[in-house]
Amino acid sequence: MELQNTNDNFGPLPKNLKWTPLQDDTPIQLMLDQCKEGRNVKGGFTCEWWNLLTKEMKTQYARIN
């Protein structure tokens, strides 16, 4: 498998990382939750929200070595 870039927390990542359906649904659900709470801005989300999304995805789906 060809490796692309590295991530200090997880090591080398596969070039074509495949997500499970649950991993696909998680950011969508988080976006919907944020919209319901009025935390989106016209045309998207804030940097603060994208940082929260990244943290949540890493927390829920971090690889166990």
The alpha carbon of 34 is separated from its chain's Cα centroid by a whole number of angstroms, namely 14
Phi, psi of 57 (to 5 degrees): -65, -40
Tell whether the model's pLDDT for residue 65 goes beyond 50. Answer: no
Non-local CB neighbours of 57 within 8 Å, separated by 6+ positions: 23, 26, 27
Point out the least confidently predicted range of 3-7, 49-53, 56-60.
Answer: 3-7
Other beta carbons less than 10 A from residue 61's beta carbon? 12
pLDDT the model gives residue 14? 66
Note the pLDDT tens digit of each residue in 8-54: 555 666 677 788 898 889 889 988 888 888 877 787 888 888 888 88
How many angstroms separate the CA atoms of 64 and 32, rounded? Answer: 28
- pLDDT at site 56: 87
Give yes or no for a contact between 44 and 34, defined as CB atoms under 8 angstroms apart.
Answer: no
